[in-house]
Amino acid sequence: MEKVYIENISNFSGTEVTIKGWLYNKRSSGKLWFLLIRDGTGMIQAVVSKGDVDEESFNNCEAITQESSLMVKGLVNPDKRAPGGYELHTKKLEIIQIAEDYPITPKEHGTTFLMDHRHLWLRSSRQYAILRVRQEIIKACRDYLDGEGFVLLDTPIFTPAACEGTTTLFETDYFGSKAYLTQSGQLYNEANAMAFGKVYCFGPTFRAEKSKTRRHLTEFWMVEPEVAFFDLNDNMDLAEEMVIYVVQQVLKNKSEELKTLERDTTFLEKVSKPFPRITYDEAAEILKDKGVDFEWGNDFGGTDETIISENFEKPVFIHHFPSKMKAFYMKRDPENENLALGCDLIAPEGYGEIIGGGQREDNLETIERRLEEDKLPRESFEWYIDLRKYGTVPHSGFGMGIERAVSWICKLPHVRETIPFPRMLYRITP
């Protein structure tokens, strides 16, 4: 008798199998017990009939509690009414351990309580669905870029300098000198792109964000492609194609999970070419028309992004930002020094920015001047300056925040559920 995973149960119809897992829920009607069992790959209902099992197995049904670990042997029976299409006609039920007073019960719990028990909350079917979608999104990003010939090159986590401004750096001691946790792999990606043409990195990034919003984590994962000889438009084309591929893969491969999450997929199905592309000025105009008190030159806040996105059914690019609000590395519009060749992608349904990127400054003197203007320590950037000395070319790239993408695609109220153990302003445990 084989130990099988619930996800493969359809291959074992009519045969006897063993399943090892945990009790999700149970109910009884006299001589019958219905046990809902999960094993990490899926759920199945085990039907235990008094006449079919030994006395101990039947008594175990009475004794077993939510999240107790168990082993069950039985016959796989097709049943149209059962979720997943199969039931287990139980022959034997062994308890591995009784879970006493499992804190998360089927009743409603508050968010703080659930977050304090995140290590256990992960076992719920909702979290299961979200995190499987997360995996699909990550896989789709990788598959897309790998398929397009991008080389995956991991960038360092310990860095000597800031990429995205000095105000959100996490500082750490590095054998007596200062090091910072990376905010973005971009600068190293630029070096990698000059060596390999099209590259990407995918890893954790860190920002000491004091923002307590539904979109901010202090540790989040980012996929960042960077391409030599790409301009701003090429960059938007790439981001558009990657996002379309990601959404299609989730719709195709994670439909059950989206159902569990009661995700209405109408808007996801509309994610197709072309995404509207508007300038910062046009976006500001939209805000003005809607009566928002918005000052030119400021960054869009979360609510601003939501309002802008309401004008569109698809993700929308905003490009050509005021240069003052953008990082030192962003190329200025050759026609207008006050504008930077950046592009952000704003998700529909009020989810705000999921991608940030743009064309990079490729001129040696300009990058040297910018570093000075931004008071960044030149010695930490010598290597970066070298990239403009030795065969500089136009190049562009972007970063997509995985948690923002998961939040949007699953339509979650908060980014905290998009990663197993979220790190936020007021939370570093469990």
Which partner, Mg ion, ligand 4AD, none, binds residue 235 by CB below 5 to 8 Å per kind? none
Residue 24 vs 321, nearer CB to Mg ion: 321
How far apart are CB 245 and Mg ion at their closest, in Å? 22
Which partner, Mg ion, ligand 4AD, none, binds residue 417 by CB below 5 to 8 Å per kind? none
CB contact set of 154 (below 8 Å; sequence gap of 6+): 185, 201, 202, 203
Residue 22 vs 220, nearer CB to ligand 4AD: 220
Q: Rounded to an integer, what distance in angstroms lies between the CA atom of residue 257 and that of residue 137?
A: 13
How far apart are CB 279 and ligand 4AD at their closest, in Å? 17
Question: DSSP code of 297?
Answer: T
Tokens encoding 175: 């054998």
How far apart are CB 215 and Mg ion at their closest, in Å? 11
Residue 22 vs 188, nearer CB to ligand 4AD: 188
Cis peptide before 103 (omega within 30 of 0): no
Residue at shortest CB range from Mg ion: 356
How far apart are CB 356 and ligand 4AD at their closest, in Å? 2
Tokens encoding 348: 């529909």
Which partner, ligand 4AD, Mg ion, none, binds residue 315 by CB below 5 to 8 Å per kind? none
Does the CA dihedral 286-343-271-403 come out positive or negative?
A: negative
Which partner, Mg ion, ligand 4AD, none, binds residue 73 by CB below 5 to 8 Å per kind? none
How far apart are CB 82 and ligand 4AD at their closest, in Å? 39
Nearest partner of 70 among 28, 40, 39, 106, judged by Cα: 39
How far apart are CB 47 and Mg ion at their closest, in Å? 53
Q: CA of 244: how far to CAs of 114, 159, 205, 273, in Å?
A: 33, 33, 24, 8
Which partner, ligand 4AD, Mg ion, none, binds residue 283 by CB below 5 to 8 Å per kind? none
Footprint on this chain of ligand 4AD (rule: CB under 6 A): 163-164, 184, 186, 207, 209, 216-217, 220, 222, 224, 353-357, 397-401, 403-404
Residue 356 vs 422, nearer CB to Mg ion: 356
Which partner, Mg ion, ligand 4AD, none, binds residue 130 by CB below 5 to 8 Å per kind? none
Binders of Mg ion among residues 341 to 370 (CB under 5 A) are 356
Concatenated DSSP letters of 260-277: HTT---HHHHT--SPPPE
- Rg of the chain on CA atoms, in Å: 26
How far apart are CB 357 and ligand 4AD at their closest, in Å? 4
Does the CA dihedral 17-20-26-31 come out positive or negative?
A: positive
Residue with tokens 């006897």: 16
Q: Rounded to an integer, what distance in angstroms lies between the CA atom of residue 343 and that of residue 359?
A: 8
Residue 21 vs 401, nearer CB to ligand 4AD: 401
The binding site for Mg ion (CB under 5 A) comprises 356
